[in-house]
């Protein structure tokens, strides 16, 4: 069954028991819309099906965690959409006015598993207009983190949690400089999403999300955040070794992002050619050697995990690939470039990561972003 329905409803909210006779499976977003039209109920409000109650607009869960997402690109919009569908009070914040205007005027269009629907998500370019927040999620590019944190300070109250689910290394350190480590939580997510245009994204890969305290303790606030995410069908676990998991995610980014950008491939296409497979393995192997020297712990063969993620997100275009598509600055300095920097301090040669970093940066200059 589809996660959500988009119904053309202006002033109608339906909260009523739904019996098997009232709505016959298989139920689709489209067939249900037709059923409502036949009842004379017409056109915008996001709705979803949560047996045994059909609810349009709000889930009625009573949860009060106000969430603000800094960076409404593909991933930020995905999390904002999913959390909104679960009934949360969510705000998307981005400087891309056309994107925000599209979301405000017609909703966020989310494609998922071959179907599409619109979700009415709160969205703004003015973070100061939102008020205080319980949870602030960062999905901005790594080089935008410092400015995003500065802008987000207006949201802070004593117990506000600042959670980074960004790519690369060092984001939590940047946040801590302005917020303080007591309010900062670190995380990684293996979901994949593609930005198709203003107000329009595709959910192109499913994976686990992990969150953890910087000192490795397991706290009530982590449990609460994880529960909120799970209710939004975002599989989430609390980790006591989140720093190691950040490196595990970094291996994935190192193996896929720059290569998809330079080749124009989607993630899964990297697996289809022996040449790109060899490059993937070489890039990841160099990063693993650096991580071992730093004392990072990981289980199994990291390259096997990278291949598995590439397959699971086969139809996704990586974030760096999307940056190339739009001729934008990339996060190469926080991904392959971060490995080059760490390796230089240790005296470890990483020629593949150095070469790939140089190639990406040369293209950034060609884009006028270097």
Query: Which residues are tagged catalytic?
Result: 249
What whole-number distance in Å separates Cα of residue 188 and Cα of residue 192?
12
Residue (of 294, 291, 323, 324) closest to 305 by Cα position: 291
* Residue 124 Cα to chain centre, angstroms: 18
Q: What's the length of the chain?
A: 370
Q: What is the DSSP letter of 134?
A: S
What whole-number distance in Å separates Cα of residue 87 and Cα of residue 3?
13
What whole-number distance in Å separates Cα of residue 45 and Cα of residue 277?
45
What whole-number distance in Å separates Cα of residue 3 and Cα of residue 28?
10
Residue (of 209, 22, 50, 221) closest to 134 by Cα position: 221
* Distance (Å) of CA 211 to CA 214, 215, 258: 10, 12, 25
Residue (of 333, 323, 335) closest to 366 by Cα position: 323
Contact 59, 146 (CB under 8 A): no
Q: Which two tokens stand for residue 105?
A: 């005027």
* Distance (Å) of CA 110 to CA 102, 261, 349: 13, 23, 43
């Amino acid at each position: 069954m589809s996660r959500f329905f988009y119904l053309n409803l202006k002033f109608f909210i339906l909260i009523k028991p739904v019996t098997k006779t009232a709505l016959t499976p298989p139920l689709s977003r489209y067939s249900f819309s037709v059923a409502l039209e036949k009842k004379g109920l017409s056109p915008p409000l996001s709705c979803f099906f949560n047996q045994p109650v059909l609810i349009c607009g709000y889930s009625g869960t009573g949860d009060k965690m106000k969430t603000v997402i800094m960076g409404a690109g593909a991933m930020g919009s995905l999390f904002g959409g999913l959390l909104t569908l679960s009934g949360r009070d969510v705000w998307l914040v981005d400087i891309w006015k056309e994107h925000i205007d599209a979301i405000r005027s017609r909703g966020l269009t989310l494609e998922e598993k071959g179907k599409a629907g619109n979700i009415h998500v709160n969205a703004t370019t003015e973070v100061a207009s939102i008020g205080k927040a319980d949870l602030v999620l960062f999905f901005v590019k790594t080089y935008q983190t410092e400015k995003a944190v500065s802008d987000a300070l207006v949201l802070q109250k004593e117990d506000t949690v600042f959670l980074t689910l960004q790519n690369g290394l060092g984001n939590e350190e940047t946040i801590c400089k302005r917020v303080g480590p007591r309010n900062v939580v670190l995380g990684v997510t293996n979901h994949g999403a593609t930005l198709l245009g203003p107000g329009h994204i595709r959910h192109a890969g499913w994976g686990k999300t992990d969150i953890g305290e910087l000192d490795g303790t397991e706290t009530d606030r982590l449990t609460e955040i994880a529960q909120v995410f799970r209710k939004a069908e975002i599989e989430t676990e609390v980790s006591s070794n989140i720093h190691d998991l950040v490196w595990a995610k970094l291996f994935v980014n190192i193996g896929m992002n720059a290569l998809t950008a330079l080749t124009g491939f989607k993630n899964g296409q990297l697996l289809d050619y022996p040449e790109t497979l060899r490059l993937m393995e070489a890039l990841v192997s160099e990063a693993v050697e650096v991580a071992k020297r730093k004392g990072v712990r990981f289980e199994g063969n990291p390259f096997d995990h990278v291949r598995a993620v590439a397959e699971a997100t086969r139809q996704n275009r990586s974030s760096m690939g999307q940056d190339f598509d739009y001729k934008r600055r990339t996060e190469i300095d926080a991904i392959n470039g971060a490995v080059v920097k760490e390796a230089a301090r240790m005296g470890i040669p990483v020629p593949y990561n150095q070469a790939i970093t140089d190639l990406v940066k040369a293209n950034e200059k060609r884009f006028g972003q270097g």
